[in-house]
Amino acid sequence: MMAIQEQRDYGIALFEKIRFDRASAEKFYGIFREQYNPELSLPDAAIEDLLAVGTFRSKEKEKAPPTMQAVRDRSFAEKARR
């Protein structure tokens, strides 16, 4: 991670290898540099937000897994064509 952080060309080349085009790799590298935290810690506000989302989701009803018929149903495509 430190090599990517400190060596721009190496980082961009690495991102290109995982199927980014050059422009996207450069943009992603900039985002990575801004967001990377070498201590791997999160601020308390971010942790509170994550806990709130987790708590909210745990209160949702658990849904039954979709049936094969529902997965293969393409009627939505027919509706979209109209």
The token pair at 22 is 């050059």
Rounded Cα distance between 66 and 30, Å, is 40
Closest C-alpha to 20, from 8, 12, 9: 12
Q: What is the pLDDT of residue 44?
A: 78
Tens-binned pLDDT, residue by residue, of the chain (82 aa): 788 888 989 988 988 888 888 999 899 888 888 777 777 676 777 777 767 776 655 555 566 665 667 656 767 777 777 7
Instruction: Report pTM.
Output: 0.41
47-71 per-residue burial string, b: 16 or more CB within 10 A, e: under 16:
eeeeeeeeeeeeeeeeeeeeeeeee
Q: What is the pLDDT of residue 57?
A: 55
